[in-house]
Amino acid sequence: MATVTLRNIRKKYGEVEIIKGVDLDVADREFVVFVGPSGCGKSTLLRMIAGLESITDGDLLIDGARANDIGPADRGLAMVFQSYALYPHMTVADNMAFSLRLAGVSKEERMRKVTEAANVLHLGPLLERRPKELSGGQRQRVAIGRAIVRQPKVFLFDEPLSNLDAALRVQMRIELAKLHEKLAATMIYVTHDQIEAMTMADKIVVLQGGVVEQVGSPLELYHHPRNLFVAGFIGSPKMNLLPGRVIGNTENGITVELASGNPIAVPVKGETLRGGDEVTVGIRPEHIRLSDDGEIPGTVLVTERLGGLTFLHIQVAGDQTMVVQADGDEAASMHDNVRLSVNPRGCHMFGRDGLAIEHTSRHHLIDSPAAGRRSA
Ligand SMILES: Nc1ncnc2c1ncn2[C@@H]1O[C@H](COP(=O)(O)OP(=O)(O)OP(=O)(O)O)[C@@H](O)[C@H]1O
């Protein structure tokens, strides 16, 4: 398989720069996911790697060799589209074999490769059907099969599951993860589905406005977002982001007064912060709980009961809403007055420039033995 390297990659349409200097290393067999809000340039970047869009500036290396000027068919990549792009008049087998036929591969060899891919994707009994006789999930598997038979160095996926219903998406997510394992292939995958990114990626690339905001493993991004954008983007429900003002700086961290009037001590290294500085405190819903002696009073606005979990949207002073993760059988309901207790070890802090302030490592939740082992 192959590595893919992007060096200061840029894309301009006329005078408008859409991709603004992206650097990225995709390792052999890595599953890399591009995420970001609509219009951030995920698909454009993928299409530039595929050779479907020209590269305005910078270098694209595939297996270490510059590929900017190599045509899409000769890059050794295969792309799977959201729309499946199957030929309606051809059978599943012919759809899968099409590129091999164009490449002059013998009939026996085509049959062998199609059968092999069909086995991997459980498409064996469907080979003689036409696309209209298939479900959405089956069509998507044919589109993936068409990529597999080419034995590409790298698979590129552009939102391949977004036309499927929720249950099928879950099933296909699992199948894609298994496929990645089985093919031991390098895969680059575009999605705006958080759960797909978190569950499938070895490495997530968060893009915004044509710029990479952060690259890291799903848990690195979840526990160590480097700025407010990533903090708000990764995680569902979102991290609570609360404005506050620094009121103290001790060796245990920084004490902040939240807009609700409550002080909270956050274990971060705030050498550069001074009393009165405006900051944002980030707290994930699982790091807040309802407790009779909690320090923050509030009123329940909405309860979202998911069965195993309940999300409570709580209005606190200062016109802020906080989302709290509670047990499935949480008794609090709409209009109840409650008190919230925050776990300071789960808190993040961001300066006025939006950048995260580093945690004092001995306190932060991610510094668990497991996390230590991974980074060792
Ligand atoms: N051919 C084009 N000419 C001019 N602008 C374009 C062209 N193609 C894309 N763009 C612009 O480039 C930006 C990035 O588009 P792109 O499709 O890569 O975003 P995306 O992150 O994949 O979005 P989505 O999640 O909505 O698919 C958008 O602002 C889009 O309008």
Give the integer Cα–Cα distance in Å for 329 and 311. 11
Question: Whose C-alpha lies nearest to ligand 1, atom 5?
Answer: 13
**Which domains are delineated in the chain?**
4-229 (3.40.50.300), 238-375 (2.40.50.100)
3-state secondary structure of 345: helix
Which atom number of ligand 1 is nearest to the Cα of residue 45?
18
Q: How far is the CA of 45 from the centre of ligand 1 (A)?
A: 9
Ligand 1 site: residues with CB under 6 angstroms? 13, 18, 36, 38-44, 192
Nearest ligand 1 atom to the CA of 192 is 25
What is the best residue among 43, 45, 49, 206 to mutate for testing ligand 1's pocket, by most ligand atoms within 8 Å of CB?
A: 43
Model confidence at 370, in pLDDT bands (50, 70, 90)?
very low
For residue 44, report the distance from its CA to the centre of ligand 1, in Å.
6
Q: Does residue 182 surpass a pLDDT of 90?
A: no
Whole-angstrom distance, CA of residue 268 vs CA of residue 327? 29
Residues 248 and 214: their CA atoms lie apart, in Å, by 30
* N-term to C-term CA, the chain: 27
Measured in Å, residue 192 CA sits from the centre of ligand 1 at: 14
Confidence check on the interface: ipTM exceeds 0.85, yes or no: yes
> What pLDDT is stored for residue 162 in this prediction?
84
What is the token pair recorded at 375?
Answer: 């980074």
Is pLDDT larger for residue 349 or for residue 102?
A: 349
Q: Is the pLDDT of residue 27 over 70?
A: yes
Lowest mean pLDDT among 15-19, 263-267, 311-315, 358-362: 358-362
Q: How confident is the model at residue 376 (pLDDT cuts 50, 70, 90)?
A: very low
Structure confidence at residue 1 (pLDDT): 56
**Predicted pLDDT at 78:** 92
pLDDT in tens, 119-137: 888 889 999 999 999 988 8
pLDDT tens digit sequence for 106-121:
999 999 999 988 988 8
pLDDT at 122: 85
Q: Whose CA is nearest to atom 18 of ligand 1?
A: 41
Instruction: Report long-range pairs for 61-67 (Cβ below 8 Å, ≥24 apart).
Output: 61/3, 61/4, 61/5, 61/6, 61/7, 62/2, 62/3, 62/4, 62/5, 62/153, 62/154, 63/2, 63/3, 63/153, 64/3, 64/5
The full 3-state SS of 110-143, as one line of letters, equals HHHHHHHHHHHCCCHHHCCCCHHHCCHHHHHHHH
| Closest ligand 1 atom, residue 207 Cα | 21
Residue 283 has pLDDT above 90, yes or no: yes
| Averaged pLDDT score across all residues of the chain | 90
| Closest protein CA for atom 8 of ligand 1 | 44
Residue 219 CA to residue 364 CA, distance in Å, equals 14
Using one digit for the tens of pLDDT, what is the confidence trace for 313-328? 999 987 889 999 999 9
Q: Which residue has the higher pLDDT, 370 or 104?
A: 104
Q: What is the pLDDT of residues 184-202, one digit of tens each?
A: 899 999 998 888 999 999 9
Per the model's pLDDT, the better-predicted residue between 236 and 369 turns out to be 236
